[in-house]
């Protein structure tokens, strides 16, 4: 799929500088800003901030809630273990149901990842996660208005792309973006943002691999972790794709 390959390239070259999300969604919405200028009066170039700390206690609490309510191991078993294990942030996954996860493919870059979920009839769903932020001059980025969506705890920002829709939000201290694109832009899934909003409510499962579990184990909040990193969240099988 050409679009997926292009987005993978954008993601790979942006790790260590800025996570572009294909449409600069995270940059526009979540880059931290500060007044900044060079001696000549021009705005200084953006500065990469340290990776954002993951809210590991919230991650473990969510894994426990989902595990108690779902039937079966979930989408995580479809992911290639080596890709999941090198991912240093929680991978947001859909519940089995509306979203077809048979061909799920995870590409990890450590502090960032892309999860491709091809659907029928030329519809493509892609979830991105990223811990990297840029510090840029105040006023250098746009700030799309946020909205609330029933079934989603976070504020989301929705924008139309050339061939679909994208929603950007923060969860567990991490920036995520969910894209829906269509080979035929007139397809029902892409004519409006309705399908995007519908499937976004399905993305409440979480997968973590060995690096993420190790980071969660090192996390020491006041009073200690209420739960230990669950081994059941690990995928020890070769996934599809």
Query: Contacts for 211-220 with beta carbons within 8 Å, 24 or more apart?
Result: 211/85, 211/86, 211/87, 211/88, 211/110, 212/54, 212/87, 212/88, 212/89, 212/90, 215/54, 215/56, 215/88, 216/54, 216/56, 216/59, 216/60, 219/54, 219/56, 219/57
- Residue 153 is predicted with a pLDDT of 74
Instruction: Tell me the C-alpha to C-alpha distance, in Å, between residue 164 and each of 57, 121, 159, 169, 214.
Output: 34, 14, 9, 17, 37
In which residue ranges of the chain is pLDDT below 50? Answer: 1-39, 232-241
* Cα Rg, the chain, nearest whole Å: 18
Whole-prediction pTM value? 0.75
- Residue 190 is predicted with a pLDDT of 96
- Residue 226 is predicted with a pLDDT of 52
Domains of the chain by residue range? 2-233
- Residue 213 is predicted with a pLDDT of 94
Task: Specify whether the CB–CB gap between 64 and 76 falls below 8 A.
Answer: no
- Residue 71 is predicted with a pLDDT of 75
- Residue 212 is predicted with a pLDDT of 95
């Amino acid at each position: 799929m050409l679009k997926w390959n292009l987005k993978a390239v954008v993601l790979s070259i942006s790790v260590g500088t800025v996570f572009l999300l294909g449409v600069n969604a995270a940059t526009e919405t979540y880059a931290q800003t500060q007044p900044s200028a060079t001696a000549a009066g021009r705005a200084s170039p953006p500065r990469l901030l340290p990776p954002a700390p993951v809210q590991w206690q919230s991650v473990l609490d969510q894994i426990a809630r989902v595990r108690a309510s779902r039937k079966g191991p979930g989408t995580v078993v479809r992911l290639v273990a080596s890709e999941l294990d090198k991912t240093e942030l929680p991978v947001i996954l859909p519940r089995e149901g509306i979203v077809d996860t048979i061909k799920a493919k995870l590409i990890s870059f450590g502090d960032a990842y892309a999860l491709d979920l091809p659907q029928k009839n030329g519809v493509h769903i892609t979830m991105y996660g990223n811990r990297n932020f840029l510090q840029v001059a105040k006023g250098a980025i746009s700030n799309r208005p946020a909205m609330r969506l029933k079934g989603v705890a976070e504020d989301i920002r929705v924008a139309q792309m050339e061939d679909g829709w994208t929603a950007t939000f923060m969860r567990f201290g991490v920036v995520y973006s969910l894209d829906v694109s269509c080979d035929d832009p007139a397809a029902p899934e892409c004519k409006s943002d309705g399908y995007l909003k519908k499937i976004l409510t399905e993305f409440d499962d979480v997968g973590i691999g060995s690096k993420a579990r190790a980071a969660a184990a090192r996390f020491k909040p006041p009073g200690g972790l209420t739960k230990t990193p669950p081994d059941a969240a690990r995928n020890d099988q070769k996934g599809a794709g």
